[in-house]
């Protein structure tokens, strides 16, 4: 995989493994491409009790699967209107097609 790849040119299989509260691994076409550094998991302590940094707990709360890359709360929090933002409404930059989505819960 080359940095700057235009992903729409080919079919790809993407995967994310949320292994534990401090480990998230990202895969493209079955190959590990990134593991989130522990310091990046919850840098503002949103999931810790009362946001206390001395008692970090990592990703320990239920999460939601977001399919739309455009409609994410962080955009609104930064004042970005995803209905009019040029980086979002450009079909070349923001069109996704999914053949299927599977979600597994590891045992």
Task: Find the Cα–Cα–Cα–Cα dihedral 45, 15, 34, 89, rounded to 10°.
Answer: -80
pLDDT at 27: 92
Q: Give per-residue pLDDT as tens, 60-75.
A: 877 778 776 666 677 7
User: Band of the pLDDT at 96, cuts 50, 70, 90?
Assistant: confident
């Amino acid at each position: 995989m080359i940095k700057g790849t235009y992903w729409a040119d080919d079919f790809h299989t993407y995967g994310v493994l949320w292994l534990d509260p401090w480990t998230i691994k990202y895969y493209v076409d079955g190959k590990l491409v990134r593991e989130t550094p522990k310091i990046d998991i919850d840098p503002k302590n949103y999931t810790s009790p009362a946001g206390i940094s001395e008692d970090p707990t990592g990703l320990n709360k239920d999460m939601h699967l977001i399919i739309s890359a455009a409609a994410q709360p962080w955009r609104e929090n930064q004042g970005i209107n995803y209905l009019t933002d040029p980086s979002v409404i450009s079909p070349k930059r923001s069109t996704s097609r999914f053949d299927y989505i599977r979600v597994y819960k590891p045992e």
